[in-house]
Amino acid sequence: MNFQGKLDHLVKKNNSLVCVGLDSDFDKLPERFKKFKNPQFEFNKWIVDQTHDLVCAYKPNSAFYEGEAMKGILSLKFTFHYLKKNYPEIPVILDAKRGDIGNTNKGYIKFAFEFLQADAITLHPYLGKEALSPFLERADKGCFILCRSSNPGAGEFQNFGEKRFLYQYIAERIVKDWNEIVC
């Protein structure tokens, strides 16, 4: 089943639009999890086991795992594996905000969709549709494209414009020109 099918199924099954971010900042983990070999994974597993019937998706943020080097990447992989094995109907979105030239994106795709087996990924549109086409061509996967962020300084560039803000223009272009299913 593709990403959209999984998401639609779980939204209906769990009557939920809740996506839980697994932003497991190592420094903020409860002490009881830090005694484990893979603390971030154990913390994520605990969250998943407590919430699996209340969500429509999970969204681990790659930065928290990358920041812990190999141990963090393993915890991220273990989290994806645990979800795929124990809760395969729940879509998992890799929050990585990737977006680069085509060849680089192919490496990101390999990591996200082959190694981690993510159902979807977050992307940024700055390099345009052509650069993101390796992601967009994956009809089985979901792409969440950043238009407007919530950080305090976001308006510095995202609110640029006279009649419309830049983020509004980006959202419109994505909906009108990029929002298609490629078969």
Query: Angle at CA 164, nearest 5°, toward 147 and 180?
Result: 45
Nearest partner of 66 among 32, 104, 34, 98, judged by Cα: 98
Q: Which of 57, 52, 48 is nearest to 4 (CA)?
A: 57
Is the CB of residue 111 less than 8 Å from the CB of residue 135? no
Residue 25, classed as helix, strand or coil, is coil
CB 126 within 8 A of CB 158: no
Active site residue 176: no
- The catalytically annotated residue of 71, 77, 84, 97 is 97
Nearest CA-CA partner of 126 in 95, 94, 170: 170
Residues facing 138 on adjacent strands: none
Catalytic (active-site) positions: 97
